[in-house]
Amino acid sequence: MVPSARPVRLCHVAATSEGAVWMVEQLRELRDRFNYDVTAIIAEADGTLAEHLDGTGIRSIRFDFQYPGSGHFFTLLRRVNALAAIFADEKFDIVQTHLFNSMVLGRLAAWLADVPVNLSMISGPYHLEAYTPRWIDRDTAWMTTALIGSCEYTCQLYRDMGMPEDRLALVYYGPNHHKFDPSAIRSAGIRAELGWSPDAPVIGMIAYFYPKPFASRWTPPKLYNRANKRQEDLLRSVPRVLRVFPDAKFLFVGSGWGEEGEADLKEIQALVRELCVTDAVAFTGFRSDVADILVDIDISVQASLSENLGGTIESLLLERPLVATRVGGMVDSVQDGVTGLLVPPLDPVSLGDAIIRLLRDPDWAKSMARDGRELMLERFTLDKTVEALHALYKERLSVDDGKLRAGYRRWAQLWRRCVSGFVFSYLAGRLLIDIYVLPYFWPVQASDDRTE
């Protein structure tokens, strides 16, 4: 670390009160391995994230991250000022945001407060594939010290937007590989639980059932009227696989995300009956023993339309043969024919054929899965993530004389407050045009979700 009389003060910001285990693990490791003084700013709603942070001994601050829409648009400036005041009071050396809402609010606030190092870690390419959030990101990116893409595809999207290479870094959201050691994980006994034959090949997808987003400029066009995780594509491949392997079974692990997600789950369950494959398909709902279930699966499938790494890292760490769609960051972890098989998205035929190839040659499938684990250990673990972040922090904090980069300068704060009116007016005006004007002149077109 750059020489300093005190630990570097690091703050991660995430606009959520649930999940975000990856942020907790990053902060814990950065504290324990590299002596950072860590804090998390999270959403103020009730949830498990605060308990998880408390249990890890990480201080947390609650904040209202509600993003402005037509009903509460004019509260944006108040929220940015409130968050900037927290940064200025705490004097964090580094502020790193995750997730879109916290990225935008945190980026504006960190710039306003003159935080020395202002970083945005991009959890996935979704917002960069949609019209409105893409321009919001692009037109505020100049405020950041650096953008951290978490897959090559995300970094390339920023390059395509004109972001210079020296403002970009690639750091994956790697999991704790000790939790995914195939020699230490016990079987969940899923075949016995479901009454399936011990020899039945099991093809599984572990993912929430997310609702279909409506067509808008906040949604990538390829997702208009389409659920992202595409359980339906795997389901439509089932008859094709059963013609070759009639004893194969298909396992869907995950619950619906909210009421709309539960409605989508019911639609997919109805499709099972429509396809007459009821005996070959099972839905488990939410399970906490995901790693145990993964070791029972012969082939893991990730069929998303927009994705970072999805569940590919965990599957390969557990040496599960894998089929994934050729989208987002999944091409980083799944090297076609080397660590797994890649297929086009929205293509149940190609998906079914890839599954058949792996079932026909299980030795080849297992060999690729073993190579996949080696690649994950080499590049895609929590250890690699925090080491890369630590190196980035050192680089961005240091100045020529070896001191920490200056911040919270009174003159800079005053100057930025003077020009912030123009910045916020531009963002507000363009956002209002997106909401109220463009729909009349440039209506979006919803896609047809049917796949053949």
List the domain boundaries for the chain.
Answer: 9-174+382-441, 177-379
Give mean pLDDT, residues 186-209.
Answer: 96
pLDDT(448) > 70: no
- What is the CATH T-level fold of the domain 9-174+382-441, as seen in this structure? Rossmann fold (3.40.50)
pLDDT in tens, 134-191: 999 999 999 999 999 999 999 999 999 999 999 999 999 999 999 999 999 999 999 9
Specify the pLDDT at position 402: 65
45-59 average pLDDT score: 94
Q: How many CB atoms lie within 10 A of CB 116?
A: 22
- Residue 132 in tokens: 């409105």
Residue 4 has pLDDT above 80, yes or no: no
Q: What does the pLDDT look like over 293-330, one tens digit per residue?
A: 999 999 999 999 999 999 999 999 999 999 999 999 99
Mean pLDDT of 336-350: 98
Task: Provide the pLDDT confidence category of residue 3 given band limits of 50, 70 and 90.
Answer: very low
Q: Which CATH architecture has domain 177-379?
A: 3-Layer(aba) Sandwich (3.40)
| pLDDT digits 0-9 by tens, 250-285 | 999 999 988 999 999 999 999 999 999 999 999 999
Q: What confidence score (pLDDT) does residue 25 get?
A: 97
Mean local confidence (pLDDT), 219-246: 96
Q: Please state, in angstroms and rounded to a whole number, the distance separating the CA atoms of residues 29 and 33.
A: 6
Return the closest-CA partner of residue 318 out of 119, 139, 177.
177
> Would you place residue 414 in the very low, low, confident or very high pLDDT band (cuts 50, 70, 90)?
very high
Query: Where do the H-state alpha helices sit in 35-75?
Result: 48-55
Indicate the burial class of 363 (C-beta count within 10 angstroms; 0-12, 13-18, 19 or more): exposed
**What is the C-alpha separation between 111 and 116, in angstroms, rounded?**
9
CB neighbour class for 154 (10 Å; exposed up to 12, middle 13-18, buried from 19): buried
pLDDT at 46: 85
Q: Give the strand pairing for 341-343 and 9-14.
A: unpaired
Vertex 352 angle, CA 296 and 228, to 5°: 80
3-state secondary structure of 398: strand
Write out the DSSP string of 48-59: HHHHHHHHTT-E
